[in-house]
Amino acid sequence: MKLAGSARLVIAIFLITLIALGQGSPIPQPPATPKRPVTDEYQGVKVTDDYRWLENWDDPEVKQWSAAQNARSREYLDHLPARPAIQQMLKKALSASSAAYFDLQFRGGTLFAMKYQPPQQQPMLVALPSAEDPAGGRVIFDPNASSAKGSIAVDFYVPSLEGKFVAAALSENGSEDSSAHVFEVATGKELSDVVPRVNFATAGGSLEWKADSSGFYYTRYPQGNERPPEDANFYQQVYFHRLGTDTKLDAYVTGKDFPRIAEIQLHASDDGQWLVAAVANGDGGEFAHYVMDAAGRWTQVTHFADGIVAVKPGPDAALYLLSRKDAPRGQILRLPLAHLDLADAKVIVPQTSGSTADESARASIEDFAPAPGHLYVADVLGGPSRIRVFNLQGHPLPGPPLPPVSAVRQIVPTRGGNVLFNASSYLEPSAWYRFDAAAGKAIRTALFRTSPIHFDDCEVVREFATSKDGTRVPVNVIRRHGTRLDGGNPTLLEGYGGYGVSMKPFFLGAFTRAWLDQGGVYVVANLRGGAEYGEEWHQAGRLTRKQNVFDDFIACAQRLIERKYSSPAHLAIIGGSNGGLLMGAAFTQRPDLFRTVVSYVGIYDMLRVELDPNGAFNVTEFGTAKDPDQFKALYAYSPYHHVKDGTAYPAILFPTGENDHRVNPMESRKMTARLQAATSSGHPILLRTSANAGHGIGTAVDEQVEEDADVLSFLFAELGIKYAPPAN
């Protein structure tokens, strides 16, 4: 499964607020970290690794070393005088926010949602009579009642087609290692059925109900001794579980011929007569699609080489397909279910022209939703979104307007061709809107979020940086009105650039408000490797072209300096997961450009990451050291291998989670050790490992607040900013 990123992903950008380092206690020396060299040969090149021993988490010495690093970090962070005030500010802002609703699904006349009600630890699964009546909702499953510490999370859920039951994948401590539990919607009663290993952090997971609600199809990982231990998180297949029966009797459905790194997602037609299985070939963006009819016969409709990235059943006995074959910005095809031959598919929504400098002409189709009489298409325009509406033959219809510089997160068909859609912007909390297709109007529903944090005095400025090869890269600058461009503003630059994930606008909240209130500027870069301008934008930052992502990010930093938003002494950068790799590449290639770095759950040793279970899924995005050209590219930028002794590195904080199955925490351990031995700057290199978290998904709110308080305190301290709490 791809590394988490973007708004939800682990970039925990709900941070920031702190104090001058000189007011805190001196930081202790790092624990002794012996070098134990191990030399490998890749493509005729010998590479020595001094800290290979830190990879083995089963070694008590490694756990002792990690605990000593944590104690050192706590000694530093806990003695920053502003940290208690920052923590209280974050808690207060969270508690004063209204409920948030996400991951909506409409089935059997019932609207289902995940609801987060501050200050609870975890979101709960609810059923609503409508988007206009949240007060009439009922709780189906509340993880907070199941675990006092908030350790249980709902990774995903799927209602049955008539809305009688709902299956939820539950995991603990951010592990994403889920079992499916089944609940009766009317009563919230849990049935006896518990299906193990339907989800993991490698290939993810999915399930879909049979039309008669007698059971469900689900993604199953190897169990027991079915495969050797090294294959325990690979070879995902589809099985069927009948309610009320022992899971040992579950029947194999399909998947034996799928790749080792297959990632399967299931989706049924509204009437349950057709089941679509989307099979990803790892995380590089290649998909094959299979369709099963009511008699259980499977037909392969697309292959990896066909460039079809999404297939959805429509309400009119047809499939709708998002194709990037010879159309990198995407086009929508229609294929009758009666003739499942891809050659018979017809283009009904062609790709945008891309012929002008206008971003709307370069819009890329990101998602779509067929509904009775209507086809809804969500585009990304370099970062922000728009929604277009067509009839099922592809003729344009009036669509809903969106708030300026905003993002569409989800489109949910309801009744009569209408939809609910979620929109958010940097400066306004998210809200669900109901689009009346007949009237052509969008109305905000009762499912909107309020926040005590306001940005009435702020603006979003869209800048463009010029990368090393001349590519124009969008830069979203959030600043207060009247911000002086004198080079002295503390500036926080965030980026990701991978997997075709677009960095779309999201409400910035207490973190950014605190940052702006201390005179700061907050910036989000839309780098190649994402899909802000379609598949070409993604491909330009993938495999042997990954260096383009780092060049883009460095160009964005230089643009901020040229425009006098900031200077190297006041510039901080932040990113997580694939964005953590970005951080590592940025500060090893240009250590002079940044003063402070926060790098969450990142990848740094690009020659060994593929040896981890999830790393194997990432090979189709990053490449493999087994290929000569890909090895050359990986070794050329691998952050761990480009740390140089005696270099003045920025202050760096590495937050990671002990239960992270997407990025092995050893990546942060090794990078910390290497930098502590190499840096000459005197700035702290800190490792923060949480025993109650993984990659960031499913983490309890209290744990998130603690991490955010640490990060904000660290940033302000290192930039010499004395935190001033809000007046009220």
Say yes or no: 478 and 392 in one domain: no
Name which of 301, 274, 297, 263 is nearest 210 in CA terms.
Answer: 274
pLDDT at 497: 98
User: Quick one: tokens of 134?
Assistant: 């949240």
* Domain end (from 209, 241, 273): 273
Say yes or no: 446 and 466 in one domain: no
Question: HSE of 618 in the Cβ direction (CA atoms, 13 Å)?
Answer: 28
pLDDT at 147: 86
Say yes or no: 531 and 647 in one domain: yes
**Is 170 in contact with 159 (CB distance < 8 Å)?**
no
User: Quick one: tokens of 697?
Assistant: 């998904």
Q: Which residues contact 60 (CB under 8 A, 6 or more apart)?
A: none
Domain region containing 268: 100-273
Say yes or no: 444 and 582 in one domain: no
pLDDT at 14: 32
The span from the CA of 707 to the CA of 549, in Å, is 27
The span from the CA of 430 to the CA of 505, in Å, is 10
Q: Which residues contact 562 (CB under 8 A, 6 or more apart)?
A: none
Residue 328 belongs to some domain of the structure: no
Residue 279 belongs to some domain of the structure: no
Name which of 523, 511, 506 is nearest 409 in CA terms.
Answer: 506
* Domain end (from 450, 485, 512): 450
pLDDT at 3: 64
Q: Which residues contact 46 (CB under 8 A, 6 or more apart)?
A: 39, 40
Name which of 589, 587, 582 is nearest 606 in CA terms.
Answer: 582
Q: How many domains does the chain have?
A: 3
Q: Which residues contact 312 (CB under 8 A, 6 or more apart)?
A: 267, 276, 319, 320, 368, 369, 370
CATH of the domain at 557: 3.40.50.1820
Q: In the predicted model, what is the mean pLDDT of the chain?
A: 94
pLDDT at 545: 98
pLDDT at 26: 72
Say yes or no: 518 and 577 in one domain: yes
Please list the ranges in the chain whose pLDDT falls under 70: 1-25, 355-357, 728
What is the torsional sign of CA 573, 574, 578, 580? positive
* Domain end (from 399, 420, 450): 450
The tens digit of pLDDT for each residue in 132-174 reads 999 999 999 999 999 878 899 999 999 999 999 999 999 999 9
The backbone region for 650, taken as left when phi is positive above 0, alpha when psi lies in -120 to 50, beta otherwise, is beta
pLDDT at 23: 36
CATH of the domain at 126: 2.130.10.120
Angle between helices 83-95 and 509-517 (to 10 degrees): 130
pLDDT at 728: 65
- Provide the whole-model pTM: 0.94
Name which of 114, 119, 94, 117 is nearest 102 in CA terms.
Answer: 114
Name which of 244, 161, 234, 159 is nearest 200 in CA terms.
Answer: 234
Say yes or no: 126 and 241 in one domain: yes
Q: What does the chain come to in residues?
A: 728
Residue 145 belongs to some domain of the structure: yes
Say yes or no: 127 and 269 in one domain: yes
Residue 303 belongs to some domain of the structure: no
**Is 293 in contact with 273 (CB distance < 8 Å)?**
yes
With tokens 């702190």, the residue in question is: 18
Burial class (CB in 10 A: 0-12, 13-18, 19+), 225: exposed
